[in-house]
Homo-oligomer: A and B are copies of this chain.
């Protein structure tokens, strides 16, 4: 029998939670609740956790807990249970609205299920991502939603410990984890076709890094349509790889403008690069009629109708929500091979993205 801080025997009458006591600010523990209710700490624990306890006891414990303003200490709980009610979400950058939307989707689902969410910004860097995965491991997080910064994230230790991981937006080579993806090829195809339908004659493409899956797939979609329209032209002449950032889009557009027989429209495969591309067009005073533009993904803080930019919204929020649901299923013990969900793009998500 140990004498924990604040423990009171049944004889002790002074039961008030002396608010200005020597340990002002200390949270009450189950021991204090137990002695106030006249039961054992174990019984308090059972009540908190919804295990079978006789009605009378349960009531007394609840009353005591309320009176003392008791909240179970999550740290102690986590140490003992070796698990927590916390999910990690690792995104490549918090400053791209696509990922903040995705985060909202994850958060909606997580919160609805009683989990809290820790948001981590990997800054598109393998080392930071790795660090956060270690944190998730060390902190005994219940699961991880990951937008991988590379296609070989260090998941080994996490998976060894059977912590569920779901990858979103980008897939992971080799490792068997659930993933929620977009039909990138289809969305790029559709964007390209719209520009041709609007009457443009030669549609170029600005996509992301060569080694990035989404960048490749989107380029593939564009290439397919382009080659149909220009069977004799090498599509690579009209394709630029940038880095998915504003500056990259700016430079890539500048480069396309100097191409011999330059394109009269461009598909830009993400929101940030579109902003850059527009900046270049503006600087060169090239009107929307001279150079058409399609953007994959929303530009939430832009007002672009006037500029005639063809925007193809991507269901970022749904992506996050679907990933979170998949993760919660696994946490709940769902077995079976890794799932691979591809979200429809045109179909309109149940949860609107803005």
Contacts and interface: CB of A to CB of B under 8 A. Distances in A.
Contact of A301 (B116, B134, B302): B302
Interface in A52-98: 71, 73-76, 78-79, 94-95, 97
B121 A118 contact: no
- Contact residue range for chain A? 35 or more
Interface stretch (A40-48, A233-241, A275-283): A275-283
A160 interface: yes
A140 B139 CA distance: 14
Nearest to A19: B160
A26 B25 CA distance: 34
A262 interface: no
A342 interface: no
Contacts of A135: 116
Contact of A79 (B25, B75, B139, B161): B75
Contact of A78 (B75, B118, B306): B75
Contacts of A27: 137-138
Given A101-B95, A118-B118, A121-B107, A301 B282 contact: no
A269 interface: no
A271 interface: yes
Nearest to A301: B301
A343 interface: no
A153 to B, nearest CB: 17
Contacts of A177: none
A291 interface: no
10 contacts: A25-B160, A27-B137, A71-B134, A74-B138, A76-B79, A95-B100, A95-B300, A119-B119, A275-B301, A299-B301
For the complex of A and B, list the 8 residue pairs with the smallest distance between their C-beta atoms, beginning with the closest. A25-B161, A301-B301, A25-B160, A119-B119, A278-B303, A302-B302, A75-B79, A75-B78
